[in-house]
Amino acid sequence: MRQTGQVPILRVAGVLLVAIQVDLGDTVATALQEDVLEAIARTGSTGLLIDVTGLEMVDSFVARVLVDTGRMARLMGTETVIVGLRPEVAGTLVRMGFDVSEVQAALDIDEGLERLGCKVVRRGAD
């Protein structure tokens, strides 16, 4: 049985925002990938921002699903930025040998939105 809807997918300024706040098991990760790709097809969004700040750990399967989701999105004409990578998670991706060249990374959502070409206005900024 497919577990959809575990992770909300929001559309913000023409970009799909996926804020992962739950640990991703294999079934939920696969369902999330399918949900994201369906949302891209439905909305025609050209940007995808995946926030992994809430992930404590990433195993090899979840890492592969996240990277593959970015690759698949790219094939659909959607640029992907992953934000909020903890040092341990970034280290895991590198040690596992994942090719993340088609997926950009940023420190936070604001920087990720800027990389996707969205104008970010901060209060009190000159």
**CA gyration radius for the chain?**
14
Q: pTM score, two decimals?
A: 0.84
Asked whether residue 45 is domain-assigned, the answer is: yes
d(CA 56, CA 52): 9
46 lies in a domain?
yes
For 53, the domain range is 9-113
The count of domains in the chain is: 1
User: Is residue 1 included in any domain, yes or no?
Assistant: no
DSSP conformation class of 125:
-
Q: What is the pLDDT along the chain (126 residues), one digit of tens a residue?
A: 344 567 889 888 789 999 988 778 888 889 999 999 999 999 999 999 999 888 877 788 888 888 899 999 999 999 999 998 888 777 877 887 877 776 788 988 888 988 888 765 556 655
Q: What is the CATH number of the domain that holds 104?
A: 3.30.750.24
Residue 120 lies in a domain: no
Closest CA to 16 of 122, 119, 105, 112: 112
Q: Is residue 126 part of a domain?
A: no
